[in-house]
Amino acid sequence: MVRRGAAQSVVLLLVGGTLLKIALAGTYVRYVKVGLRGYLVAAGAVLVAVALASLVHTLWTAGSRRAGHDHDVDDGHGHSHRGFDPSWLLVAPALALLLIAPPALGSYAAARGGTALAAGADSDYPPLPDGDPVRISVLDYADRAVFGKGHTLGRRAVTLSGFVMAGDHGHRYLARMVITCCAADARPVKVGLAGDLPPDAAPDAWLEVTGTYTAQTDTDPVNGQPIPYLAVTSARSIPAPAQPYES
């Protein structure tokens, strides 16, 4: 029991330390929304504190029990009951985060999820902010284009950023994953790119595109929802942003 307790404390320390590390290093944004950083830090700190306290307590009591001839539970045959401890499963995601650091969801996941639009058919949209072009999110553009029928977009030039997703028949989309809490609930929002892009815009490459609203739409083969298009006037490659998800 003493050894198990010590091992669980170490596992807990690893999990807590991993949470602290990804929260402080900023890579947590690949897995949860930005606003959860404080909760991650707090949770990681609590886990680390509990793990250290538990470990100290375990080692301390081990010495005391030794002095009092305490021992692990024995089965009468000289063996301790030590079946598989499920807490070891926590080591797997911790090691994955520390050794692999999986990237944010990209075109592979986006191609397998139906485009997710947020508004209803009767949505009213405020005018676009100032700017020429005006920078808006992929989700905002898609909502205004589909549910607002482009009325608030007009002929304004807008700039969107996202990753490239290849579709059928050579169509290419600009996509962005939208999350409510974390990557587990991520859903893609897709905008078709009218007017071909430079041909080397490979899937998962991040682009910043500027263009104007066009009434052209497509149908997402995954969920049958409409995918609006943007008439692209310029495009440039950009590095993957620090915050890959929209929310």
Partner 1 sequence: MTASPWRLRAAATAALAAVAVLLALPTPRTAAPAAPAGPLTLTQAWPAARTVNLAATMPDGSRFFPSAVLDPGHLVGTVSTADGNHTDLVELAVADPTHPRILQGYDTAAGTSIDAVTAAGGRIYWMTSTPDDLGRPHTSLYRAEAAGGQPRDLTDDTGRPDYYGTRYDLQVADGRVYWIATRNVDPPTSELRSIAVDGGPVSVRPLDSAYALTAWPWLTSTPPLGQPLVQLNAVTGERRTIAPKPGEQLSCSPTWCRGTTSNATSTVITMRRLDGGGEVRVNTDGEGSATMDVAVLDRFELLAAPLGGPTPTSEGGQRATTSEKLTVYDLKTRRRVAVAVATAEGVHSPWLWWSTGDNETLTWHLLDLTTLK
Distance CA 166, CA 136 (A): 22
- Residue from 57, 71, 149, 151 in contact with partner 1 (CB under 8 A): 71
Please report how close the Cβ of residue 111 comes to partner 1 at its closest, in angstroms: 14
Residues 173-202 that bind partner 1 (CB under 8 A): 194-202
State both tokens at 68: 């009092």
Which is closer to partner 1, CB of 135 or CB of 236? 236
43: contact with partner 1 by CB under 8 A = no
Residues 6+ apart with CB under 8 A from 177: 104, 105, 106, 109, 110, 183, 186, 187, 188, 189, 244, 245, 246
3-state secondary structure 52-88: HHHHHHHHHHHHHHHHCCCCCCECCCCCECCCCCHHH
Per rule CB under 8 A, count of chain residues that contact partner 1: 63
Question: C-alpha distances in angstroms, 139 versus 5, 116, 247?
Answer: 48, 8, 9
Distance CA 53, CA 46 (A): 10
- Residue from 2, 43, 45, 166 in contact with partner 1 (CB under 8 A): 2
3: contact with partner 1 by CB under 8 A = yes
Determine the interface stretch with partner 1 among 17-25, 33-41, 109-117, 181-189 (rule: CB under 8 A). 17-25
Residues 72-91 that bind partner 1 (CB under 8 A): 72, 74, 78-80
155: contact with partner 1 by CB under 8 A = yes
Which amino acid is it at 239?
Answer: P
| Residues in contact with partner 1 by the rule CB under 8 A | 2-3, 6-7, 9-10, 13-14, 17-18, 21, 25, 27, 55, 58-59, 62-63, 66, 71-72, 74, 78-80, 94-95, 98-101, 103, 106, 132-133, 155, 157, 168-171, 194-205, 211-212, 231-237, 240
